[in-house]
Structure formats: structure tokens, C-alpha cells
Amino acid sequence: MLRGIDPLLSGDLLKILDDMGHGDELLLVDRNFPAASTGRPVIRLGLVGVVRAAEAILDVFPLDEFVERPLGRMEVNEDPSVTTTEQDAVLAVAQRHHPRELDWEVVPRLDFYERARRTYAVVHTLEEQPWGCFILKKGVVFPAGSD
């Protein structure tokens, strides 16, 4: 156990987050997503939903400030204007941690599966709500006091 680190962040997950570099992408997915078929390392969080996982991850993981949309979500029913309650909640969590205004990159479902094969790793939750799948692009970790 570590002070100041969410206990949801296991040593394996912290190592992956730490090993990732600027621009690398992390998947955060629901229980329906075929995580193992991506061929990427999979960290299974167990009985946790995507919102709780996003809270823990984004507490230590900066989103990229050099791209317009460092947070992607899977498109719902082929309609980019539709979001789920969980998607809205993940966006709210990300906005609390990001220094600038933040909006979605909407990724069509089949494109999301293709892109998943190029990500650094997959964080798999047991989120029950379909379309609980996200892409987080890692940002730069700036030195303390350089804000």
C-alpha cells in the first residue's frame, strides 16, 4: 500500500502507466470489449466500472495537452451525438484533471477495434454499460512548478 496512490492502481498498472511515453495511448474498456484479442498487455481491474477506473488513472496520468482531443470514446449505435451516462461521467472526470477545455474524439466502433491493436495497453473493467470504451492519449509530465 502506498500513501497518496489510489489502491485501485496495482503495481502492474502503475508500471504500465509509468512506462508509457508522451503520445502513447491507453485503452479503458468495459467487460464486453475483447481485450485479449488486441494483443496488447491487459490489466484486469475486476469489479470496477469505467468511471471509478478513470478517477484512479487520471489522478496520475496526464492527458496530452498538445492535441485537440486526447480522450476518445466509442461511438454509440453509429450516432456520434449520442452518449451514455458513463461516457458523460468519464468526460467530467477527465475535465477535472485537464488544464484546458476538453471534448471527445468520437471513434466509430469498428475503427475503435482496429485502433485498439496499436495502443500501449488495455485496462479492462467489469463495467456493465455497453460502449464503455475509451482511448486516453498520454501527455507530458512537466517538472514541478513549471505551470
The catalytic residues are 22
Is 104 within 8 Å of 37 (Cβ atoms)? no
> What does DSSP say about strands 134-137 and 71-74: parallel, antiparallel, or unpaired?
antiparallel
Nearest alpha-carbon partner for 91 in 115, 118, 58 = 58
Q: How far apart are the first and last CA of the chain?
A: 30
- Work out the angle at residue 76's Cα, subtended by the Cα atoms of residues 74 and 78, and round it to the nearest 5 degrees: 105
Pairing relation of β-strands 121-124 and 42-44?
parallel
DSSP class of residue 37 equals: G
